C-alpha cells in the first residue's frame, strides 16, 4: 500500500446504466450511514462556524446528497440554519439529491429533510465551480478526492478555497491495509451492488495518505491546512481562510 494505484471506477463511467447507478448510490448511502460519514464533516463545519447560527454550505461531488442531508439534520438539532448548495457532474446523482432534499434555487423548503438545496451541475475538475469568489461560507467534500489525479485534486481544493468565505472541510479514505481489508468485506454486508463491491476496493487503493493530502492542500494555496486521521480508516482536512480567522468569522484556525 506504499504506492497509490489510480484506476477508473465503475461509477465514474459516464456510460454507466442509470439503474445500476441509482442502485450503487443507494448502496453508498447505506455505507455512509454505517460509517457515520457525516459526523466528521459536521464536527469540522461546527468548529469553523464558531458562534454563528446561520451559514451557506456547499457540498462538492454530493452524490445522492445523503451526507449533505446528514449534516443538515445535525445542524437543525443544534439550532444552526444552513443554506445548502450541492454540486455534481452526474444528472442521476443530482436527481437523487433533489428527491432527498428538495430542489430550490432560492433555498426554499422541500424534500425529506425539509431543507431545500440549490443544485449545481458541472465538472468541477475541468470547469471549476459556477460560483463567485467567497460566495459560500463553507464548502465540504466527502470521499471524492481519491477519484482524481494529483492535478485534479489540487484544482478541486483550490476551487473550494476560492468560493469559501470561512473555510473548507474535506473527508476521504486513508490508504492503509486495514482499510483495504474492510473494503473487501463490509460493502458486501451492506449492499448487493456489484458496482459498489468493485469500486470500494479500487477506492482504497487510489486513496491518499494524510501526508499526501496535506501536500495537495499546500499546492492548492491552503496554508496551514490541518489533516487528521478519523474513524474508520479515514482522514479529515480542515482549513480556515486566514482573513476569516483574523476577523473571528471562523471558529477554528487552519
Helix (H, G, I), strand (E, B) or coil at 118: strand
Cell digits of residue 136: 459560500
| Average pLDDT of span 173-200 | 96
Q: Which residue has the cell 456510460?
A: 15
pLDDT in tens, 36-90: 999 999 999 999 999 999 999 999 999 999 999 999 999 999 999 999 999 999 9
* Cell of residue 55, nine digits: 451559514
Say yes or no to pLDDT of 245 above 80. Answer: no
Is the pLDDT at 115 greater than 90? The verdict is no
The H-assigned helical ranges of 102-193 are: 124-127, 150-163, 177-190
Q: Which pLDDT band, with edges at 50, 70 and 90, does 250 fall under?
A: low
- Spatial separation of the C-alpha atoms in residues 168 and 5, rounded to whole Å: 26
Domains present along the chain, CATH in parentheses: 10-241 (3.40.50.150)
Q: For residue range 155-184, what is the model confidence (pLDDT) as tens digits?
A: 999 999 999 999 999 999 999 999 999 999
pLDDT tens for 130-146 read 999 999 999 999 999 99
Work out the average pLDDT over 188-204: 96
Enter the C-alpha cell of residue 160: 473550494
DSSP string, 179-221: HHHHHHHHHHHH---HHHHHHHHHHHHHPBPHHHHHHHHHHTT
∠ CA 104-108-110, rounded to 5°: 80
Taking residues 189-198, what's their average pLDDT? Answer: 96
Amino acid at each position: 500500500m506504499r504506492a497509490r494505484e489510480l484506476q477508473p471506477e465503475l461509477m465514474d463511467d459516464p456510460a454507466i446504466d442509470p439503474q445500476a447507478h441509482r442502485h450503487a448510490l443507494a448502496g453508498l448511502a447505506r455505507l455512509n450511514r454505517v460509517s457515520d460519514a457525516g459526523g466528521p464533516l459536521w464536527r469540522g463545519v461546527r468548529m469553523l462556524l464558531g458562534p454563528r447560527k446561520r451559514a451557506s454550505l456547499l457540498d462538492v461531488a454530493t452524490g445522492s446528497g445523503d451526507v449533505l442531508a446528514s449534516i443538515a439534520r445535525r445542524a437543525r438539532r443544534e439550532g444552526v440554519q444552513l443554506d445548502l448548495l450541492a454540486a455534481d457532474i452526474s444528472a442521476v446523482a443530482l436527481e437523487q439529491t433533489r428527491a432527498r432534499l428538495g430542489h430550490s434555487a432560492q433555498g426554499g423548503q422541500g424534500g425529506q429533510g425539509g431543507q431545500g438545496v440549490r443544485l449545481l451541475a458541472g465538472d468541477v475538475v475541468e470547469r471549476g465551480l459556477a460560483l463567485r469568489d467567497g460566495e459560500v461560507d463553507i464548502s465540504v467534500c466527502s470521499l471524492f478526492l481519491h477519484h482524481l489525479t494529483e492535478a485534479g485534486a489540487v484544482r478541486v481544493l483550490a476551487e473550494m478555497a476560492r468560493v469559501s468565505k470561512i473555510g473548507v472541510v474535506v473527508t476521504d479514505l486513508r490508504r492503509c491495509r486495514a482499510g483495504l481489508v474492510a473494503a473487501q468485506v463490509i460493502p458486501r454486508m451492506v449492499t448487493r451492488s456489484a458496482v459498489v463491491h468493485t469500486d470500494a476496493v479500487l477506492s482504497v487503493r487510489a486513496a491518499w495518505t494524510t501526508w499526501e493530502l496535506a501536500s495537495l492542500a499546500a499546492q492548492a494555496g491552503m496554508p496551514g491546512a490541518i489533516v487528521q486521521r478519523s474513524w474508520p480508516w479515514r482522514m479529515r482536512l480542515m482549513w480556515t481562510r486566514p482573513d476569516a480567522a483574523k476577523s473571528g468569522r471562523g471558529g477554528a484556525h487552519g
